[in-house]
Copies of this chain bind each other. A is one copy, B any other.
Amino acid sequence: MKKDSTITKKIIRGTFLWTPEPDVMKQQDHGYALIENGILKSLTKELPSDCEDIPVTDYGNAVIIPAFTDIHLHASQYPNCGVGLDKELLPWLNTYTFPVEARYSNAAFAEYYYKKLLNRLWSVGTLHFCGFATVHMESTWQLMQLTQKAGFQAYIGKVNMDRNCPDSLRENTEISLHETEELIHRASSLQNVKYILTPRFVPCATPRLMEGLAALAEQYDLAIQSHLCENTDEIALVEKLHPDIPNYTQVYDTFGLLRPKKTILAHAVHLTKKEAEILCNKNILLAHCAQSNTNLSSGIMPLRQRLQNGIRCGIASDIAAGHTPAMYRQIAATIQTSKIHGFLHPEDAPLSLTEAFYLATKENGNFFGNTGSFEPGYNFDALVIPDAEPDSPLQRTPYERLEQFIYDGDDRHILTRYMQGEKMEQPFPE
C-alpha cells in the first residue's frame, strides 16, 4: 500500500444506516467505512483491496448512524428544561426565561450551566448545533470557547434585544452592535465554532438594531438566527409594532435579515401564503420545533405543507421550550405532531420515521456543510449504537433497532461518538 504521511486512514466496521434522500433509508450491513483525515472516502460491503494494512475498528452488530444536528436551541435555557410548561410563550418568557437569562451576567453561573449543557449534548449525540446564548458578551464568549474546547461544531450568537424585555436584559442599541462586532472578531480565532447573528425576534429588536445587524451580516458574510410566527399573540404584537409592513416575515426582509441559505428562523407555525412564498424564494431554513410548539400551546406547524411548498425545514429541540435536548425525542415528537395534523388534515400525510430522521441528520447538517450522511466526502460524524440484546429470542433488524432507539432509547444506548473520524469524549468531568 502506498502511504502518504499527511493522510491518516482508518476503517470503521458496522451496520450503517443513513438517509441520502428525504424518504430513503439506506443500509450497509457489516460495511467498511474508509475514513481519510476524518472524511468518509467509501462505504463498501467488502474491504477494499488496497486497504489491508489500514487498522479496522469492528463494532460487530452495532448500528452506526450519522450524529445529530440541532439547528435551534437556547443554550442558556438548559437549566429550565421541563420547568414552567403550564404557561404560553409570552408569560413563560417573563416568568421563567428572562430571569434565568439575566443570571448569565455571572461568569461562574454561565460556566456551570454551559458545561452541563455541553456534556448533555454530547451524551445524547448532538454534535453540531446552532445556539442562542444571552445578551451577555463575556458569557457568550465563554460558551464559544467551551464549545470549541469540547470539540463540537457550532454556530453560536449573543442575543440582541433592545426593546420589550425586562430592564435587566435590555441593551443599548449601539452597545449591542458594538459587542456583537467584538465577538465576531474574537470568533475568527476559533476553528469549529462560528459566530451567528442572533436578534431574539422582532418584538425585542428595534429597526435600528435589525438594520445594524444586517450591515454586520453583509460586512462579515454571517449567518443569522431568529424566531418567526410562533404564536398568535406574538404575531399580533409584531403587527402593532410594524403596522406599515404587511407581515412578520417581511419585517425581517425589510430590515435585511433574510439571507439566502444563511438564515434560520424557528417555528413558522402560523404563516400566510405570501410569507411561505418569500421563505421559499429566499431559501430560508425553518427550524421546526414540534415539542416546543406543543408545550407552549403555540399550535401545530404544518410541516408537510411547508415541505410541499418547497421551504427547507429542519428540526430542533428549542430547549427549554422543548423539554429535552435529545434529538431522537424530537424526531419522535415531529412524527407525532405530524400524525395529529394528519388526522385533522387528511390531505397532509404524516412524516415517516425515515423522513424525520433525514431532517435531524442530513437536512440539519446541510447548514454546516458535509455532515449528517454517509456519502463519500462527508465528515465521518457518527454515533455507534450497539445491539443491546444480542441474545434475545426476537431478532430485530437494524432498522427496527433504530426505531426503538429513537422512541424508547437514551444516551446509555450510544456507545461511541465520532467527530470527523475521531472518538469524541465527554467534554467536562461531572
Residues of A in contact with B (beta carbons under 8 Å apart): 79, 81-86, 100, 103, 106, 108-109, 112-113, 291, 294-295, 297, 299-300, 323-324, 332, 335-337, 339-340, 342-344, 350, 352-353, 392-394, 396, 400, 403-410
Contact = CB atoms under 8 A, between A and B. Distances in A.
Contacts of A85: 335, 353, 403, 407
B392 A79 contact: yes
A393 B78 CA distance: 13
A343 B293 CA distance: 11
Contacts of A108: 393
Given A108-B393, A299-B343, A82 B408 contact: yes
A103 B394 contact: yes
Contacts of A332: 323
Nearest to A389: B116
Nearest to A391: B112
Interface pairs A-B: 4 shortest CB-CB: A82-B407, A323-B407, A82-B404, A82-B408
A352 B86 CA distance: 6
A304 B47 CA distance: 60
How many copies of this chain does one complex carry? 2
B408 A324 contact: yes
A394 B352 contact: no
A381 to B, nearest CB: 24
A350 B83 contact: no
10 contacts: A81-B404, A81-B408, A82-B408, A83-B396, A85-B407, A103-B394, A106-B393, A109-B393, A294-B336, A297-B339
A403 B339 CA distance: 26
A45 B86 CA distance: 29
Contacts of A409: 82
Given A81-B408, A297-B343, A353 B86 contact: yes
